[in-house]
Structure 1
């Protein structure tokens, strides 16, 4: 049985529609399963955002220590500063840390405001990510969700969302790759490969992004498939029925593999440990095949 067939079986056993691309960063060999189909990337777009921050910092266009006040009007709900009860002041550099470590949407939104949406879009074009489309920061995504369910704010959305039928939820723009921030598994691993080869910007900028991605606290997806001794630097993305992660697996021997896995479930709960573990299993299957030549 081919690696692609084994990966397809892993997705089928978890009851998900899966997309995967794994890339040997040094040699360019790959494993692809529906890797060129457009998929929602959710918070994985933050890799591109953080890269642009690091490039601007390296070029002296911004000061990473610049102070930012996070107020009640900025809070979008969720992890990190997004869920704080009071105003918080921190540096741009620490906003990046929170945006990656706990996928803080407020931190990412403030970074997008400082860096500029058009600049992020131009970066994607410069790097040749032809299938990557960024509609905006987390605030724009959240506003589209509010509008689709006719909610005025996050409190009203929280009341309405549990009452929606699965069909209504799946009709949200945020779950449609043609109407929200999206890319392909191949484009995403291409971006990671450029970062790991120091080809996505100045070497110090690429090194900074690699360091940030090692700090993510979530481990149940790609990292769950690999043994101790391997290092996984990655970024998750999650929306109702969508589970995804992209990252680089590094072995002590120096081998490096970029992997992007996207799983669409027929069920809407965002906490699906079985799907998370299937993502890790699929990633490990792909990387093992590449290591075996």
Structure 2
């Protein structure tokens, strides 16, 4: 079975993997209408796929979503821009107090000034934590939560932005800043590291693989908001620079628009794969490693391989 193949891919990489993959057809993606067709010709409601309509490996298990959260954040930003509530050209200054470490402005040595729409670009394309945090301050945490409710992502929980995640990690380790955290964290017992709230779906930003593919489905069908807003999110996701996970599993002729997420022991990516014939597939993959490392090339490659196995299965079925 295809699910067994996917489990074996992750096992060989020293990880456990959860995955959900579905075709994105031309029909609307709301629950009351169809999103695909079974082999029998019967219609299938969104969120009610059968084994013939999807590839699911633990698709309904809760998962930490880490930076995949930024897709929902940027979607809310795009919706507010389209509604005239935010000026995408408004300027924001990223100061030393805003830096959270990592890529983009989050790791800059000096203050940076840029527009709100460039914050959105950085948040998605290089997973800039400072950009995401400042963007969240503009759109509002409560509105992002309300968006998840509106889209009927009933098992998706948003507790905060990147700064909230960082602060929880610092406080649990007893560190005053990132430098002290970097010294204290490696010395912690493995069991204590695994108990940290950022690795627990019940205490941090979380969802399920199925709900993440639902979110992608809605965005790609212009049903997560105004078409202009959905198009902006699709464009930003297509500009993500990281190509070591989903992209690594697919041939050059396939295009991938996606968002990664990473925490110690957690590697994930969710995105849409498009082939030249116009067929599109939403895929979300979440891997947990046995060792709490933030960098594991074998696991990253396994994410791409597992996604390719799932999409190839769906393409054979559609063919």
Q: What TM-score comes out, normalization by structure 2 length?
A: 0.90
Q: Distance in 1 between matches of 2:14 and 2:97?
A: 39
Shift of 1:287: 0.3
Find the counterpart in structure 2 of residue 46 from structure 1: 70
1:18-29 matched pairs, under 5 angstroms: 18-26=17-25, 27-28=35-36, 29=53
Residue 5 of structure 2 is aligned to residue 6 of structure 1 = yes
Shift of 1:217: 0.6
Q: Distance in 2 between matches of 1:4 and 1:159?
A: 40
Shift of 1:134: 0.5
Task: Please state whether the residue corresponding to 2:98 is helix, strand or coil.
Answer: coil
1:55-134 matched pairs, under 5 angstroms: 55-134=79-158
Q: 1:205 aligns with which of 229, 234, 258?
A: 229
Q: Distance in 2 between matches of 1:214 and 1:238?
A: 19
Q: Distance in 1 between matches of 2:178 and 2:5?
A: 41
Q: 1:169 aligns with which of 183, 187, 193?
A: 193
Q: Distance in 1 between matches of 2:195 and 2:138?
A: 31
Q: Distance in 1 between matches of 2:178 and 2:72?
A: 26
Runs of 5+ unmatched residues, structure 1: none
Q: Distance in 2 between matches of 1:278 and 1:258?
A: 17
Shift of 1:277: 0.5
String of CA shifts for 1:41-66, please: whole Å, max 9, x gaps.
00000000000001001111100000
Task: Please state whether the residue corresponding to 1:132 is helix, strand or coil.
Answer: coil
Q: Distance in 2 between matches of 1:15 and 1:131?
A: 28
Q: Distance in 2 between matches of 1:168 and 1:92?
A: 38
Shift of 1:248: 0.2
**Shift >4 Å, 4+ stretches:** none
String of CA shifts for 1:121-144, please: whole Å, max 9, x gaps.
000000000010010000001010
Task: Please state whether the residue corresponding to 2:86 is helix, strand or coil.
Answer: coil
Q: Distance in 2 between matches of 1:184 and 1:199?
A: 20
Residue 265 of structure 2 is aligned to residue 266 of structure 1 = no
Find the counterpart in structure 2 of residue 146 from structure 1: 170
Runs of 5+ unmatched residues, structure 2: 26-34, 37-52
Q: 1:282 aligns with which of 283, 306, 314?
A: 306
Shift of 1:5: 1.3
Q: Distance in 2 between matches of 1:157 and 1:191?
A: 34
Q: Distance in 1 between matches of 2:298 and 2:179?
A: 30
Q: Distance in 2 between matches of 1:101 and 1:271?
A: 19
Task: Please state whether the residue corresponding to 1:133 is helix, strand or coil.
Answer: coil
Shift of 1:9: 1.2
The number of residues matched between the two structures is 292
Q: What TM-score comes out, normalization by structure 1 length?
A: 0.98
String of CA shifts for 1:136-174, please: whole Å, max 9, x gaps.
000001010011101111121111112112212111100
